[in-house]
């Protein structure tokens, strides 16, 4: 079993099976320090697997702005191209790419002859170059917040051994039915979410830390 312990929070977070937690911190100063600790991935967090300490920084992602997810950043696009090439490219696709290269070669030769200009070019297109040339990227549905968030969640899971996603005010943008759908998807991905915020949603695992840093559950 994988668990997470947080300094000053008397609660053991079970991780990896679609669990959703919400932490309400009513002390502004402590909330600020808590967020800084997340950003710097410091020693306020203990990540355990079967009581063995793991490197916390390798197992979490902190999303400060859930409305600015940056799904198609450079790192994620590079991963997308590698994933497609590794998992989907077969001999049929390679043959089609060879035919495309032949057509491009003939096109460049015709242009050189018709323009009476000596031209040269890299006469071999590989798949990553092809993907880049057409700006291939993940589809972003900005009209559906949950779909966009789940797309980002799946991407960060593919990029590393992520088990926990920390968020700020995530549940402000989801209704009850969407939260249930989120739980289901997280379970498939073996992920958990710990949200910081004063959500009005009825989250089963809601932890309140008051002004005096006393904990209410």
Domain segments of the chain: what residues? 2-68+161-216, 74-133
- Cβ neighbours of residue 32 closer than 8 Å, sequence gap 6 or more: none
Do the beta carbons of residue 146 and residue 176 sit within 8 Å? Answer: no
Task: State residue 55's pLDDT score.
Answer: 77
Q: pTM score, two decimals?
A: 0.77
pLDDT of residue 4: 83
For residue range 136-166, list pLDDT tens digits in order: 988 877 788 999 999 889 888 877 778 889 9
Nearest to 56 by CA among 166, 136, 139, 145: 166
DSSP states of 104-145: HHHHHHHHHHHHT----------HHHHHHHTT------TT-H
Residue with tokens 């840093």: 213
Q: Which runs of consecutive H residues, i.e. helices, occur in the chain? A: 28-40, 74-88, 91-115, 127-133, 145-159, 176-189
Q: Is residue 175 within 8 Å of 204, Cβ to Cβ? A: no
Q: What is the pLDDT of residue 199?
A: 74
CB atoms within 10 A of CB 122: 8
Element (H, E) at 9: strand 9-15
Running DSSP on this structure, what letter comes out for residue 160? S
Query: What pLDDT shows up at residue 75?
Result: 80
Pull the structure tokens for residue 149: 């968030």
CA 44 to each of CA 1, 24, 52, 153, 182: distance values in angstroms, whole numbers, following the listed order: 20, 17, 16, 24, 27
Class of domain 2-68+161-216: alpha beta
Give residue 217's pLDDT: 64
- In the three-class reduction of DSSP (H, G, I as helix; E, B as strand; rest coil), residue 14 is classed as strand
Which residues of the chain carry a pLDDT beneath 70? 123, 200, 216-217
């Amino acid at each position: 079993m994988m668990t997470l312990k947080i300094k000053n929070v008397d609660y053991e977070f079970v991780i990896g099976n679609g669990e959703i937690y919400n932490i309400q911190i009513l002390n502004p100063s402590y909330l600020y320090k808590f967020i800084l600790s997340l950003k710097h991935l410091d020693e306020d967090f203990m990540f355990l697997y079967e009581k063995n300490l793991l490197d916390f920084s390798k197992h979490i992602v902190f999303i400060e702005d859930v409305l600015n997810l940056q799904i198609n950043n450079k790192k994620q696009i590079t991963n997308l191209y590698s994933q497609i090439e590794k998992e989907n490219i077969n001999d049929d696709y390679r043959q089609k790419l060879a035919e495309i290269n032949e057509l491009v070669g003939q096109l460049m030769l015709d242009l050189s002859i018709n323009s009476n200009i000596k031209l040269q070019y890299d006469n071999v297109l590989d798949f990553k170059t092809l993907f880049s040339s057409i700006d291939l990227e993940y589809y972003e549905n900005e009209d559906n917040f949950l779909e966009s968030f789940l797309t980002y969640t799946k991407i960060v899971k593919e990029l590393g051994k992520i088990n926990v996603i920390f968020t700020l005010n995530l549940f402000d943008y989801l209704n009850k039915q969407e939260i249930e759908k989120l739980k289901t998807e997280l379970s498939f991905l073996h992920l958990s979410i710990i949200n910081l915020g004063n959500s009005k949603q009825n989250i089963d695992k809601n932890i309140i830390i008051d002004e005096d840093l006393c904990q209410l559950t």
